[in-house]
Structure 1
Amino acid sequence: MKSHVRSEWQGAILVCRKCGKKAGGGFGPKGKTSLAKALRKEMHGGKGRKAKLGVVEVGCLDICPKRAVTVVDTRHPGEWLIVRAGTPVEDVVGRLNRSADETGGEGQP
């Protein structure tokens, strides 16, 4: 049995699965894509373990905003984002990259 698997991730974006379901998508060009899927596509940093930044859907984060999704950037665990449905994904990516740049973290490749 392998004891570990290597990854290129420099951090992870945690997206609340329950919020995403309640928002019913609300992201992407037609407004029907989940935030996690839209972020994976927009980050352009690779796929799966080879990505620079992972996007992972997690269980309920107990914030439960109406028509919005809770997002945690593991590079800044003390600052959680509430992303309203319909917010352009480019704005969310820009905010995540700006936060990383302010503390010297890695942004988009």
Structure 2
Amino acid sequence: MSARQVRSRWSNAVLVCRKCEKKIKGGGFGPEGNKSLGKALRKHLQLGKGRKAGAGILEVGCLDICPKRAVTVVDTSKPDRWLIIHPGANLDVLAHDLGLRNKS
């Protein structure tokens, strides 16, 4: 049986360590500082979820970096450059660094 293809509208994909997110109590991201990084980025950029979104922000298992009070993020277009993001980070700057754009 051959592989089947499924299309998506993603311009790029970002991997966010779920374990790092859980270690930060209360989320730490977004305007009120109460969301996980993945959810805050999706909402800030109005991306939505799933393969029909403009970009993929995927929460994945442990990436084995485990920074204290921060989240590990991988931009799949630059797999050799991992980012450590601290709570309260400017989401506009982060989105620019990751090559993510608003839906509109």
TM-score interval (norm. to shorter): 0.7 to 0.9
Is the helix fraction higher in 1 or 2? Answer: 1
What are the superposed Cα offsets for residues 43-68 of structure 1, whole Å, 9 maximum, x if unpaired?
Answer: 33454212221000000000000110
Q: Residue 77 of structure 1: which of 76, 79, 82 is its match?
A: 79
Give the 4+ runs in structure 1 shifted more than 6 A.
Answer: none
Q: Residue 26 of structure 1: which of 25, 28, 44 is its match?
A: 28
Structure 1: runs of 5 or more not aligned = 98-106
Name the counterpart of 1:67.
Answer: 69
Structure 2: runs of 5 or more not aligned = none
What are the superposed Cα offsets for residues 19-62 of structure 1, whole Å, 9 maximum, x if unpaired?
Answer: 00001210011111000001111233454212221000000000
How big is the shift at 1:5?
Answer: 2.1
Tell me the percent identity.
58
How big is the shift at 1:95?
Answer: 1.8
Name the counterpart of 1:7.
Answer: 8
Size of the alignment, in residue pairs? Answer: 99
Cα distance in structure 1, aligned partners of 2:48 and 2:71: 24
How big is the shift at 1:71?
Answer: 0.4
Q: TM-score normalized by structure 2?
A: 0.84
Cα distance in structure 1, aligned partners of 2:70 and 2:47: 25
> Contact 1:8/1:50 (CA < 8 Å) preserved in 2?
yes
Cα distance in structure 1, aligned partners of 2:87 and 2:68: 9
Cα distance in structure 2, aligned partners of 1:21 and 1:46: 21
